[in-house]
Amino acid sequence: MNRRPSRAARLLTELGVTLALVLVLFPFVWILATSLKPAELVADPGRWVFAPTLDHWREVLLRTEVPRNILNSLIVGLCTVGIALLVGCPAAYALSRSRRSGPLRFSILSAEMMPPAILILPFFLLFYRLGLIDSLAGVVVTHLTLVVPVVTWFLIGFFDAVPRELEEQARIDGCSVFGAFFRILLPTIRPGLGAAAVFGFVLSWNDLFYALILTGGESRTLPVAIAGFWTFRGIEMGKMAVAILLAVVPVLTLSFFVQKHLVRGLGGGAVKM
């Protein structure tokens, strides 16, 4: 017999949730307040009563390259995720259906463990010869080394959760291997695709190391632009706060539109039978 939680237990739960929410939202509230402070009050983090101004927003949006940097990051992130899904889906399917894929699965995960500092010098020399320094294409290639292993490893679990009987039934009904893959498996693991796409996009969107070394000028991404507000004169906190908020918006928007698939994907991609 199920017992309803007591009033004290519910109150304690609500208090814990409220505290966690405050801890999560406080940095964003502080950054928002900083972006609206007048220039003379930015250096006073304890000042919460002030007349808000949009000077920092106008400065960043109209007199800096941040809008272009946002577009660069969007292009790099979307291209990286698209290519990673094209590569990762067949790879994850093959590893899931292979009976001796244990070492290969570990090798994919170990690729994610490799520090980017090990790869940056070979990438730099290769891109220098190919003329890809200071280009978005070079950043996409480097980001694939981060995103493809994660997407592949993530999707293996979803393919493992799909019963082989579904494929066998599709083959009996006349589907080829590719037909069963595109008509049966991909629709079934759609929550996993959404979750993998979000994680891959966030990895690419937040990368600073590769973009800082391989880009400059018009090809800079948003994390590099944010780091650029740390100048020899000090940190331009107002402008940096605006850029940070602009960096959060696309990720939140993407998560909002795919939240259903994201929640189902994180829950394991259960298959309805």
Helix (H) or strand (E) segment spanning residue 124? helix 116-130
pLDDT of residue 260: 62
pLDDT of residue 269: 42
- Token couple for 115: 């520090």
pLDDT of residue 3: 62
CB 145 within 8 A of CB 179: no
Distance of CA 201 to the CA centre of its chain: 3
Q: Which residues of 76-107 are buried (b: 16+ CB within 10 A; e: fewer)?
A: bbbbbbebbbeebbebbbebbeeeeeeeebee
pLDDT of residue 246: 92
Whole-structure pTM value:
0.83
Give how far Cα 204 sits from Cα of 52, 81, 113, 143, Å. 33, 8, 16, 6
Distance of CA 44 to the CA centre of its chain: 32
- Is the CA virtual torsion 154, 155, 161, 164 positive or negative? negative
Each residue's pLDDT expressed in tens, for the chain with a length of 273 residues: 456 667 777 888 889 989 998 998 888 888 898 888 888 777 777 778 788 889 999 999 998 899 999 999 999 999 999 999 999 999 888 888 877 766 777 777 777 778 888 888 899 999 999 988 889 999 999 999 989 998 998 888 888 888 888 877 877 777 777 888 888 888 888 888 888 888 899 999 999 999 999 988 788 999 999 988 887 777 888 899 999 999 988 888 877 776 665 555 455 444 443
> Where are the extended beta strands (E) located within 116-175?
none
Give all domains of the chain, ordered by start, each with its CATH number: 1-53 (no CATH), 59-266 (1.10.3720.10)
